Structure 1
Amino acid sequence: MVMTVAAPYWNPKTECMPREQLRALQLAKLRAVTEWAQARSPFYRRSFAAARFSADQLRTLDDIQRIPFLTREQWMHSQDERPPYGELPVAGREVAIRLHTTSGTSGSTPLRALDSRKDWAWAAEMWAYALWGIGVRATDIGYVAFGYGSFIGFWGLHYGLEKVGALTIPGGAQTTAARVRQIVDFGATVVATTPTYAMRMAQEAEALGIDLPGSAVSRLVLSGEPAGSIVETKTLIERQWGAKAFDTAGMTEVSTIFMFEPENQPGGCHIIEDHFIEEVIDPQTGDRLGYGERGERVCTSFGRSMIPLLRYRTADLVVRQPAAAAGNGRTWDLYEGGIVGRADDMKLVRGTNVYPGAIEAILRTHDGIEEFQIRIERRGARDEVVLQVEPHPRFDDAAWTALAEALVVELAEAHEGLLFILERAATGALPRFELKAKRLSDLRPAGAHTTVRA
């Protein structure tokens, strides 16, 4: 693809395609991938037969609702029954060139996903859409602050940076201090990281006496956590780095990203609609929701050929808005605020929904909070939410008391009067994360609580 440096779009033909033409393109691609899955994937043949569905029933885009949902539990069951990869793949490992897994932060067995050479080239292309839209060009120096393990993470971004022509620095197998020094010493202008690790690197830079806001970094590409969509967290990261932070989101099941927040588009992420069909459903009923309604996103991918992905229930919570809300020339719809949460992270405590993102949004409005952990536990006959907060070492007892008192009030106001138990953690006592953060632990006895999905 030939692009001019000033052009805001990586692929202007599809990014600015009229909606009617875009829907026709999606329908043609949907038919093709469904026929492919039906012909070659043992899992989909059985799934379609059980639902009395056939690819020839797809006459309009609304007919996608005839296709049965795919869940992570089904994928994992197939993998367990037919190890190591299950029966979703359309070909064996001899066709694949890459194997990646999920992060395993949920405590479950990681999901294994295979990609062909074609799939992997497509994954880099999706990242090129995002990087170009963010403003990354061949003159940039990109630093990937990532461990380069089997977790898919920023692998695709690495190849996306190379695709747009940027000098790409892999920051794997190093300490946080070493990464921070390299970012400054190599003159990196773009840094890719999780939101949590962006804050961790900023803390390390402060300890080392390194002036991150004075460095060459002008853009941060955030991914891997819903925290990248939390305004308060993004604002803190931008202040710590003196750079603009951009939200993106992807998943191992897709092998790449499906949305990105371009320049001059605050508060919303475009869905890459020429390569995905995204639906929003009620997590309880499975009914499709409309614009402005919060629900669970369901993903259908056109790009992954080794493992077709049809109507995959992601557990991501989103609010979809029409393309016109962006006003930047793209005709793709948006997710307002990106990924607003995870359905499987929400907990019911004494009749109140408790969600880590809402807690983090409150904490990030206060300066000097280094880390936090949330525990839900049974104390006597009551369920309690215990919030451990690790303040900056400069906090004396009076400063901590004032912070704790303010947090108790703000958290109760945001959670229908539910009182949190605040505990001060010693400096360095709480875990730090390089990849996805795990800050919520539900320690209640099995069967003694309810997890809600919306």
Structure 2
Amino acid sequence: MTRYWNPRTEALAREELERLQLAKLRRTAQWAAERSPFYRARFEAAGSRPEDLETLSDVRRLPFTTREEWQASQIEAAPYGTLGTIGADRAIRVHTTSGTSGRMPLRALDSRKDWSWAAEMWCYGLWGAGVRSTDTAYVAFGYGSFIGFWGLHYGLEKLGALVVPGGAQSTESRVRQIIDFQATVVASTPTYALRMAQEAEQLGVDLRGAPVHTLILSGEPAGSIPETKQLIEEAWGARAFDTAGMTEISTIFMFECAEQPGGAHIIEDHLLEEVVDPVTGEPVGFGELGERVVTSFGRSSLPLLRYRTADLVVRVPGTRCPCGRVFDLYEGGVQGRTDDMKVVRGTNVYMRAVEAIVRGTGGVEEFQLRIHREGIRDEVTLHVEPLAPYEDESGWRDLADLIARELAHAHEGLRFHVERAEPGSLPRFELKAKRLVDNRPALEVAHVR
């Protein structure tokens, strides 16, 4: 049985893949210029034409598209804005972004064809992780308007797996259903995979002895943090695979294959991905950290040209993976977001780095990072709920000292206060975790950044 969902394109030679991308780029640009009021005005203002795109590098002649522009169009032409090519009368569903960043959620319409494409894209990642039609897949997701795991659900159905939708219910109920339905695949955020494992332990449920062999993780960069992934795999006795998607393209854009080469493959036959300097917008090379910019080929209702995602990634050649796919990799998956970086006394603080250290200790059940201002000085405090072996005073002090030292070492000597939180006092998350709380005055935060 083939290791590829779509062997015709996943194993293309690089030159053939780039010819396919160029053809799709020109077609998408032409479609957008003709049918999207947003892009029609954009092309006219720039004095450019889709037929001017003669090579892939010519995509840089087009201006970036930003979330702020999209949001502005949805405010001016509520509720769906001017970027789309269809109205609500021709759409079959609407989804939104999560809104966890505190900004107004984007609203995105899909046609029947677009939604079929979203499911097809998910099949790349599911098949690459070893999911097959004989599997029973449990989707631990609340099924609201946030796009979340909706596309994955339909991808599982297209692949032929039996899907158990774990809708709005308690974590205990979900854990029991996973066992009762003898699920072999579980899909959730990395944070919620750990939460379900904790619940199972309290219930006396042996997840390691359950039939689950594969975990599909999405929604957070934590799925590609080795320390977090190791904890998840040890708790479940199963292999965990990182994926990432976004509402703006309606579906997945990267996935880990069965070889797990330390990165996730970009689905390049359906997307043109660039990595640019977040400040200058200029391209960065292989192996350099930059902001991910995406042009999507498959969603006719919402064509997207050079969209700035705010995702921080490092692109490396796909040839380093023994799976044989030509698709390039994002090394370490999504490594963070440009809008998640905080500056504390001149030092950059990324939650991905903090989580890697905290999870690497093996002694933490939950945590939260808080930044506040005392007088003219920024202070950063990590609140920690320790696991049982570290709850006594001696164990806690050793754990807190270790975390403080490792955090300071990774952040140019910046001091992190580490404080113990009461059991169950910190927030738990089903979807995207929000463990960073910045309580500094908004104007001052903007100044120090």
Give the alignment's TM-score, normalised by structure 2: 0.98
Letter in 1 for 2:293: V
How do residues 202-221 of structure 1 correspond to structure 2 at under 5 angstroms?
202-221=197-216
Residue among 376, 387, 412 paired with 1:416: 412
- Asked whether the equivalents of residues 293 and 307 of structure 2 are also in contact (C-alpha less than 8 Å), the reply is yes
Shift in alpha-carbon separation, 1:79–1:179, aligned structure 2, 3 A: same
Structure 1 CA distance, aligned partners of 2:164 and 2:416?
Answer: 43
Q: Which residue does the alignment assign to 1:42?
A: 37
Is the counterpart of residue 223 in structure 1 residue 218 in structure 2? yes
Q: Which residue does the alignment assign to 1:53?
A: 48
- Asked whether the equivalents of residues 363 and 399 of structure 2 are also in contact (C-alpha less than 8 Å), the reply is no
Residue among 273, 276, 289 paired with 1:278: 273
Residue among 297, 301, 316 paired with 1:306: 301
Structure 1 CA distance, aligned partners of 2:380 and 2:124?
Answer: 41
Structure 2 CA distance, aligned partners of 1:149 and 1:15?
Answer: 32
Q: Which residue does the alignment assign to 1:125?
A: 120
Is the counterpart of residue 240 in structure 1 residue 235 in structure 2? yes
Structure 1 CA distance, aligned partners of 2:28 and 2:448?
Answer: 33
Shift in alpha-carbon separation, 1:348–1:170, aligned structure 2, 3 A: same
Identity of aligned residues (%): 67
- Asked whether the equivalents of residues 259 and 322 of structure 2 are also in contact (C-alpha less than 8 Å), the reply is no
- Asked whether the equivalents of residues 294 and 306 of structure 2 are also in contact (C-alpha less than 8 Å), the reply is yes
- Alpha-carbon shift at residue 205 of structure 1 (Å): 0.4
Structure 2 CA distance, aligned partners of 1:406 and 1:13?
Answer: 51
- Asked whether the equivalents of residues 393 and 427 of structure 1 are also in contact (C-alpha less than 8 Å), the reply is no
Q: Which residue does the alignment assign to 1:439?
A: 435
1:246-274 CA deviation, whole Å, 9 max, x = no partner? Answer: 00000000100011001012311110110
Q: Give the secondary-structure state (helix, strand or coil) at the position aligned to 1:448.
A: helix
- Asked whether the equivalents of residues 177 and 205 of structure 1 are also in contact (C-alpha less than 8 Å), the reply is yes
Shift in alpha-carbon separation, 1:451–1:167, aligned structure 2, 3 A: farther
Q: Which residue does the alignment assign to 2:244?
A: 249
Q: Which residue does the alignment assign to 2:424?
A: 428
Structure 2 CA distance, aligned partners of 1:200 and 1:265?
Answer: 24
- Structure number with higher helix proportion: 2
Letter in 2 for 1:382: R
Structure 1 CA distance, aligned partners of 2:382 and 2:447?
Answer: 19
Structure 2 CA distance, aligned partners of 1:172 and 1:289?
Answer: 41
- Asked whether the equivalents of residues 347 and 450 of structure 1 are also in contact (C-alpha less than 8 Å), the reply is no
- Alpha-carbon shift at residue 446 of structure 1 (Å): 1.9
1:348-381 CA deviation, whole Å, 9 max, x = no partner? Answer: 1101000111000000112231111111110122
1:46-92 CA deviation, whole Å, 9 max, x = no partner? Answer: 12222222111111111100111001111111111110000001111
Q: Give the secondary-structure state (helix, strand or coil) at the position aligned to 2:272.
A: strand
Residue among 6, 10, 27 paired with 1:15: 10
Is the counterpart of residue 397 in structure 1 residue 356 in structure 2? no
- Asked whether the equivalents of residues 346 and 452 of structure 1 are also in contact (C-alpha less than 8 Å), the reply is no
- Alpha-carbon shift at residue 447 of structure 1 (Å): 2.1
Q: Give the secondary-structure state (helix, strand or coil) at the position aligned to 1:64.
A: helix
Structure 1 CA distance, aligned partners of 2:367 and 2:183?
Answer: 29
Residue among 279, 285, 288 paired with 1:290: 285
Structure 1 CA distance, aligned partners of 2:225 and 2:48?
Answer: 40
Residue among 106, 123, 136 paired with 1:141: 136
Q: Give the secondary-structure state (helix, strand or coil) at the position aligned to 2:32.
A: helix
Gaps in structure 1 of 5+ consecutive residues = 1-5
- Alpha-carbon shift at residue 290 of structure 1 (Å): 1.2
Give the alignment's TM-score, normalised by structure 1: 0.97
Gaps in structure 2 of 5+ consecutive residues = none
Structure 2 CA distance, aligned partners of 1:216 and 1:195?
Answer: 19
Q: Give the secondary-structure state (helix, strand or coil) at the position aligned to 1:330.
A: coil
Structure 2 CA distance, aligned partners of 1:235 and 1:265?
Answer: 13
Is the counterpart of residue 103 in structure 1 residue 98 in structure 2? yes
Structure 2 CA distance, aligned partners of 1:393 and 1:136?
Answer: 35
Structure 2 CA distance, aligned partners of 1:183 and 1:301?
Answer: 35
- Asked whether the equivalents of residues 189 and 430 of structure 2 are also in contact (C-alpha less than 8 Å), the reply is yes
Q: Which residue does the alignment assign to 1:329?
A: 324
How do residues 43-82 of structure 1 correspond to structure 2 at under 5 angstroms?
43-82=38-77
Structure 1 CA distance, aligned partners of 2:388 and 2:317?
Answer: 46
Q: Which residue does the alignment assign to 2:346?
A: 351
Q: Which residue does the alignment assign to 2:403?
A: 407
- Asked whether the equivalents of residues 48 and 68 of structure 1 are also in contact (C-alpha less than 8 Å), the reply is no
- Alpha-carbon shift at residue 278 of structure 1 (Å): 0.3
Letter in 2 for 1:419: R
1:287-332 CA deviation, whole Å, 9 max, x = no partner? Answer: 0111111100000000111010110000000000112111211111
Over aligned residue pairs, what C-alpha RMSD do you find? 1.1
Letter in 2 for 1:176: T
Is the counterpart of residue 83 in structure 1 residue 78 in structure 2? yes
Q: Which residue does the alignment assign to 1:3?
A: none
1:113-143 CA deviation, whole Å, 9 max, x = no partner? Answer: 0000000000000011111111001111100
**Greater mean deviation of Cα atoms: 237-246 or 262-271:** 262-271
Shift in alpha-carbon separation, 1:390–1:112, aligned structure 2, 3 A: same
Letter in 1 for 2:191: T
Is the counterpart of residue 159 in structure 1 residue 178 in structure 2? no
- Alpha-carbon shift at residue 393 of structure 1 (Å): 4.1
- Alpha-carbon shift at residue 450 of structure 1 (Å): 4.4
- Asked whether the equivalents of residues 198 and 237 of structure 1 are also in contact (C-alpha less than 8 Å), the reply is yes
- Alpha-carbon shift at residue 451 of structure 1 (Å): 8.0
- Asked whether the equivalents of residues 259 and 321 of structure 2 are also in contact (C-alpha less than 8 Å), the reply is no
- Alpha-carbon shift at residue 344 of structure 1 (Å): 0.7
